[in-house]
Structure 1
Amino acid sequence: MGFRLLFFIVVLLLVELYAFQAFKTIVKDRWFMVAYGVLSLAVLIYIVYGFFSFDRSVGQTRGMMFTMGLMLVVYVPKIVLTIVLLGEDIFRIGASLVNYFMYNTPRKEMMPERRKFISQIGLGLAAIPFLSLIYGVTIGKYNFKVIKQRIFFPDLPDAFDGFTITQISDVHSGSFDNPDKISYAIDLINEQNSDMILFTGDIVNTHATEMHPWIETFNRIKKHEYGKYSVLGNHDYGEYVTWPSQTEKNQNFQDIKDLYGRIGFNLLLNEYRFVEKDGQKIALVGVENWGKNFKQAGDLNKASEGLQVEDFKILMSHDPSHWDIEVKEHEKNFHLTFSGHTHGMQFGIEIPGYFKWSLAQYVYAQWAGLYEHLGRYIYVNRGFGFHAYPGRVGIMPEITVIELKKGEKLA
């Protein structure tokens, strides 16, 4: 811990040094610079204290999320500024060596002065993430988007042609701080008038009690004609805190499983249900969490035991790495998988239909939206709530509506 703390502080001090240099090059008012230095030091002390007083027996709190948000808002722009000025320093050092060895310039004069316009460019570039992150914590985290997708299947039972499914995922109720915005999102869910609704896990950050203030609100999600179903996400297992005893951890896990029922969802634990319409049926399969780098409680073979290859199957599996590793080429042929988990890292760039980018894509092959492999599909929901960073930039909270269609997709 001592080395980590020292390294963390040294990096932040280096970033602060470059940021100070940028402001000093542009601003000549002494008292402004003194105030800037005092404020920067106070923020640094607060952030260091916040991170290294984290209590693993409590887990993430709103105070911890505020600290994370503050660090990103303050230091991401300063890191951008540091990169610009570091590039200038590399140029200045190169120029000084040329001046010294080729032109015998006196040592006092061989290093070019820092250029004002470079600092101005750096500050201009730093303003982009600064304003974006401020937007993310004030507006973006509740800027709910309804995303609709139509998917064609040649072997879809005729009765389910036009069948609609709403998906929500990654609620993380312990992060909420605005009842009006959550109520608005529930209204959006109800407005879709879908045939069925699926909730693909992470109802809380850690503790079942986080959801208690929101049970009445989520109970406003209306009954759907063909059911309300859910599965567990990695955060639902209480794995990220230190528990006083295994008994308390087990009780919290049971309480979290009960939460889904308290808001009207049928929790599937490595099992399936047939959904029938007009004498035809499809299979809805739900597995516990299975992730490449997270808890692997899901058992796909157990969940689908008794199903035939020719049965049309929809799978709920929280982590999309499960689809990539085990599901997409499974012999039982799972036609469509619903996942979440990634949140799209809550930060990225999206131009719908043309371009999307996030750091999440360097961790997950399928991280947001619809993907296909040999006629099998996965849809990765961007998440309803937020976690760690109390905001969203570019990757907005999502309510998904999927329409199943019979036939081949038109070119």
Structure 2
Amino acid sequence: MEILYIVLGVIVVLAIITIIYNIWDNRRVSITRITRKIRSKNGDKEDKEITICQISDLHDCNDYGKDQKIIDIIAEQKPDLVFCTGDFMDFYKNELEFSISFMRRLAEAVPANRIYYIVGNHEARMKMCSSKEKNMMIARFWEELENLGIHYLKNEKDEIKINGVNLRIIGFKDFQEYYPKYIVKGSKYQHLIRK
């Protein structure tokens, strides 16, 4: 019987540690810096520098002021380009106003024409699902990005010059946009079947 109590005690302690870690992890904003040498087409190293910020998977998360921490870091770092790589909206949360507010604040911190957005799987699901409300929400989100002057790339490329360096930026549609013709009724993805 003592062994059972010890095992249960260990399980409870591990569960508490996991919960505490997840709370801490959800509050933090991590920055990873990666430096690469930029080479010209002829192989010469160029003395050029570009700062790119990549943000993804906010999932309508405004918990603990994390969204404002991200905006503050971006405003302080002053990147040349910001790549938003999807899932700023969450299929299950439906916090459209938060997502729009974040993108507006981001466009104030960095010129909107330097921000690029590509769709994530949550936005793709919102576009494809049978819920008219979600369809309208994602349409409004894309409209807001356009009104702000943010580039939304969907199977497109943009060629720009930043700090004397030519860049080709490519954005793809999420592969899930092609799923509906393969989804079977009764599967966990049946909500993506348009009626």
Give the TM-score normalised by the residue count of structure 2.
0.71
Q: Distance between the aligned counterparts of 2:153 and 2:17, measured in 1? A: 42
CA distance in 2 between counterparts of 1:256 and 1:165 reads 23
Q: Distance in 2 between matches of 1:279 and 1:181?
A: 34
Equivalent AA in structure 2 for residue 196 of structure 1: L
Matching residue within 209, 232, 237 for 2:119: 232
Residue type matched to 2:25 in 1?
G
One-letter code aligned to 2:6: Q
- The 2-side partners of 1:278 and 1:189 are apart by 18
| In 2, Cα distance between equivalents of 1:151 and 1:286 | 21
Deviation at 1:132, TM superposition (A): 2.0
Q: Give the equivalent residue in structure 2 for 1:198.
A: 83
3-state SS in 1 of match to 2:52? strand
1:385-410 per-residue CA deviation (whole Å, 9 max, x = no partner) reads xxxxxxxxxxxxxxxxxxxxxxxxxx
Give the 3-state SS of the residue equivalent to 1:151 in structure 2.
Answer: coil
Q: Which runs of 5+ in 1 are unaligned?
A: 1-113, 298-411
Higher Cα Rg, which structure: 1
The equivalent of 1:165 in structure 2 is: 52
Report if aligned partners of 2:88, 2:99 keep a CA contact under 8 Å in 1: no
| CA distance in 1: counterparts of 2:101 and 2:112, whole angstroms | 21
The answer on whether the counterparts of 1:215 and 1:262 sit within 8 Å (CA) in structure 2 is: no
Q: Distance in 1 between matches of 2:22 and 2:115?
A: 31
Aligned 1:145-160 pairs, distance under 5 A: 145-152=30-37, 154-155=39-40
Q: CA deviation at 1:226?
A: 7.0
Q: How many residues align?
A: 174
Q: Deviations over 1:158-190 (max 9, x none)?
A: 6673211000011211x4344x33212210122
Instruction: Give the TM-score normalised by the residue count of structure 1.
Output: 0.37
Superposition misfits of 4+ residues, deviation over 6 angstroms? none
1:29 aligns with none
- Provide the C-alpha distance between the structure 2 equivalents of 1:252 and 1:226, rounded to a whole number of angstroms: 23
Counterpart of 2:15 in structure 1 is 129
Change (3 A) 1:262 1:210: farther
Contact 1:206 1:240 survives alignment (8 Å): no
- Judged with a 3 Å threshold, the aligned counterparts in structure 2 of structure 1 residues 231 and 271 are, in CA distance, closer, same or farther, namely same
Which residue is 2:139 aligned to? 254
Between the aligned partners of 2:100 and 2:46, the Cα distance in structure 1 is: 34
Distance 1:239 1:127, change over 3 A: farther
